[in-house]
Amino acid sequence: MSIITNNDALVGADPTAVAHADRVTAGLGLPIDGIEVADPATGEPIAHIEDIDLEGALQAVATAYEAGRSWARTAPRQRADVLHEWHALLVAYAEDLAHLISREMGKPLAEARGEVKYGTDFVRWYAEEAVRPAGNFREAPDGGASIITRRAPVGLAVLITPWNFPLAMATRKIAPALAAGCAAVIKPANLTPLTTIFAVELARQAGVPAELVQVVTTANASQFSEAVLRDERVRKVSFTGSTEVGRTLLRLASDSVLRTSMELGGNAPLIVFDDADLDRAIEGTLAAKLRNGGQSCIGANRIYVQNGIADAFAEGLAQRMGGVAVGAGLGTGTALGPLIDDRAVRRMRALTDDAVTRGAELLTGGTELGSVGHFFAPTVLDRVPADAAVACTEIFGPIAAIQRFDSEAEVVARANATEFGLAGYVFSESIDRALNVADRLETGLVGINQGVPSNAAAPFGGVKQSGLGREGSAEGLEEYQSVRFYNIARR
Ligand code: NAD
């Protein structure tokens, strides 16, 4: 198969869009020094955020805790109304949010608008969920007692979020916490903190008590978690990020016996059977691979294609990936933005070189792009050996690594041969086959004939070392509630 050459020049940022994002940043009242936030498309600084010390972090815990005591006693309808108002404000400021997301994280503006829709949906969902029945009534089996179960807010929640979806990762945690009646201290990632700061400001304008949700930005994350998770006022930690940091937080949480939710790393298998609709499989793979520049925990990591369709699939995918317009997220027509930092670019380079050295065929991409910013070309590698690093680790970038397979049993075994278990994908026109394979995948979620399975109504989360707990849906609310019962004696 011949190599398809990639893209022309990088798409430059639209100055009007950049000015829009910078107006929003200027309105946040940020300090003039502190932790630097940079634009991944240029590497240039765009803002500074406060480096809050330990004393400040513990003060935030104390403030949120106090505010949480009265919030826990508010009526569900009151919490719902405030969340509806927050949703309305997030929608009203959707363009500001999208520009800010794109500026600080690098994703194309169209995708940032998609994140705003996705992220705000959680706020609406939990506004609706806040008033749903949360209790139960049972008779004791031997009679003589009635048991009422209730759900109480779990208490002050510490929320730690990654850089890749700066709005959605925050709303997916803050909204259910507030709906359940909890206070929150949120620590966003230093690479993309601006969107979270703005979204929390809008929550306050919507009527969320000013003290109830505290944003803590700090250069010393481990010092923060070691102190804050040991504070007796904290009852819950919800984390989204790498499995390595998740393990550290679980160890800390065990000392204080905290409730935990852990949304950790992935290594998603994407399986294309011979009987798949070729176009649908290619478009679905493109979405599962290139969404967020491949920097998604559910991004397609190991692409398994059955031998009968593999040549046509690989060629079609390489053609589509090779034609993707790369550039600044705020550039007109950009379909793939920069990676988050230079370290990520170097990793893509090393993963590609390692795979090619081990015998993989490079069909498109494989190179850094441009002289400023953190760009790597959309890359397709075919016939990747199973022991190549790209086939064993979370790629978190725009490399599609294709492996080929013969039988259903073989591919299921290979797909499950990982310590991770977040997402999986199956492409087949046989619904029986798709469901049978989905049933046997050891993952928390499966996209069937589609590449973007997340939704506010879906209980997102992993099995194995991809995590504990669920976000979104009714299950996501339960993560912030504890079950209690009253046993009423009956004569
Ligand atoms: P990361 O683990 O490096 O950082 C995540 C957050 O944890 C950041 O805010 C960071 O500052 C903070 N942090 C780091 N060390 C800490 C410590 N010792 N104590 C307290 N906080 C600490 O992850 P990242 O690079 O920001 O994000 C990428 C990872 O996140 C990938 O592995 C990806 O799969 C995962 N992720 C998972 C999901 C999911 O829902 N399962 C979603 C998005 C990202």
Give me the pLDDT at residue 435, please: 98
Q: Which residues are catalytic?
A: 263
Cα 247 from Cα 245, distance rounded (Å): 5
Q: Which residues of the chain have pLDDT under 50?
A: none
Residue 257: burial class (beta carbons within 10 Å; 0-12, 13-18, 19+): exposed
According to DSSP, residue 216 is labeled: -
CA distances from 463 to 243, 271, 277, 445 (A): 12, 19, 29, 9
According to DSSP, residue 217 is labeled: -
Compute, in degrees rounded to 10, the torsion defined by CA atoms 313, 314, 320, 326.
150
User: From the CA of 162, how far away is ligand 1's center (Å)?
Assistant: 4
User: From the CA of 245, how far away is ligand 1's center (Å)?
Assistant: 7
- pTM score, whole prediction: 0.97
Residues 6+ apart with CB under 8 A from 477: 126, 129, 130, 134, 176, 179, 180
The residues pairing with 237 across neighbouring beta strands, listed in sequence order, are 158, 260
Residue written as tokens 């601006």? 194
Ligand 1 pocket, 191 CB below 6 A? no
Task: Give the end-to-end CA distance of the chain in Å, rounded to a whole number.
Answer: 82
Ligand 1 pocket, 297 CB below 6 A? yes
CA atoms within 13 A on the CB side of 393: 15
Cα 434 from Cα 274, distance rounded (Å): 12
Map out the domains of the chain with their CATH numbers: 11-264+467-482 (3.40.605.10), 269-448 (3.40.309.10)
Give me the pLDDT at residue 133, please: 77
- Here the ipTM equals 0.95
Ligand 1 pocket, 365 CB below 6 A? no
Ligand 1 pocket, 221 CB below 6 A? yes
Determine the atom of ligand 1 nearest the C-alpha atom of 188.
Answer: 9
Using most ligand atoms within 8 A of CB, pick from 51, 118, 160 the residue to mutate for ligand 1. 160
Give me the pLDDT at residue 135, please: 85
Which residue, by CA, sits nearest to atom 18 of ligand 1?
A: 222
Cα 297 from Cα 344, distance rounded (Å): 15
Determine the atom of ligand 1 nearest the C-alpha atom of 265.
Answer: 34
Query: Coil, strand, or helix at residue 37?
Result: strand
Using most ligand atoms within 8 A of CB, pick from 115, 122, 164 the residue to mutate for ligand 1. 164
Cα 132 from Cα 126, distance rounded (Å): 10
Give me the pLDDT at residue 4, please: 55
Determine the atom of ligand 1 nearest the C-alpha atom of 462.
Answer: 41
Give me the pLDDT at residue 282, please: 98
The answer to whether the beta carbons of residues 364 and 322 sit under 8 Å apart is: yes
Determine the atom of ligand 1 nearest the C-alpha atom of 460.
Answer: 40
The answer to whether the beta carbons of residues 394 and 437 sit under 8 Å apart is: no
According to DSSP, residue 378 is labeled: -
Give me the pLDDT at residue 154, please: 98
User: From the CA of 341, how far away is ligand 1's center (Å)?
Assistant: 15
Which residue, by CA, sits nearest to atom 41 of ligand 1?
A: 263
Which residue, by CA, sits nearest to atom 30 of ligand 1?
A: 241
Q: Is the dihedral of CA 304, 309, 311, 317 positive or negative?
A: negative
Ligand 1 pocket, 340 CB below 6 A? no
214: nearest Cα among 228, 139, 76? 228
